[in-house]
Copies of this chain bind each other. A is one copy, B any other.
Amino acid sequence: MAVSVQQADFHIDQVLDELAAGRRDVGAVAVFIGKVRDINSGDDVSTLTLEHYPGMTEKSIEKIVTEAEQRWALMDSTVIHRVGELQPTDNIVLVAVASAHRGDAFQACEFIMDYLKTRAPFWKKEQTADGERWVEARNSDKKAAQRW
């Protein structure tokens, strides 16, 4: 398991080179990348600022990934979440999961994302033409996390 909270962007080929490196029995890798959109709730977004709770963030992500490892047959997982100021089209988050089979990889990847959205202490603030505002938590994210 590799978990990182960082300002810097990530290179996916590099992440995947390190995922389950040296193992020859990986059959399936599922990856999710979340990006900054230029629009939210109808307004143009110019900058997104991501705040987090250093220490608890890493712990809560490790907990989420450990839970995924208990539920599915995984060989390795990487979670990278960026913080600080981001612009539209920038990457925000990457979740990559390696498994023997695609069902496990897909489900674990989606599970980790759903829980990241509802349990990891990150907060987004958007700068729009009308000023800045904190992004509100979505009911759809709560529901997505309750599926599991």
Measured between beta carbons, the chain B residues less than 8 angstroms from A73 are none
The CA of A113 and the CA of B28, in the complex, are separated in Å by: 11
Interface flag for A89 (CB, 8 Å): yes
Known contacts A12-B16, A113-B102: A28-B39 contact under CB 8 Å: no
Which residue of B27, B89, B113 contacts A37 across the interface (Cβ within 8 Å)? B27
Count A-side interface residues using an 8 Å CB cutoff.
31
The CA of A26 and the CA of B91, in the complex, are separated in Å by: 10
The CA of A70 and the CA of B33, in the complex, are separated in Å by: 22
Measured between beta carbons, the chain B residues less than 8 angstroms from A16 are 12, 33
The CA of A100 and the CA of B106, in the complex, are separated in Å by: 19
Measured between beta carbons, the chain B residues less than 8 angstroms from A109 are 30, 106
A-B contact pairs, 24 of them (CB 8 A): A12-B12, A12-B13, A16-B33, A24-B37, A24-B38, A24-B39, A24-B88, A25-B38, A26-B89, A27-B34, A27-B36, A28-B32, A28-B33, A28-B34, A29-B31, A29-B33, A30-B30, A30-B32, A31-B31, A32-B102, A32-B106, A102-B110, A106-B106, A106-B109
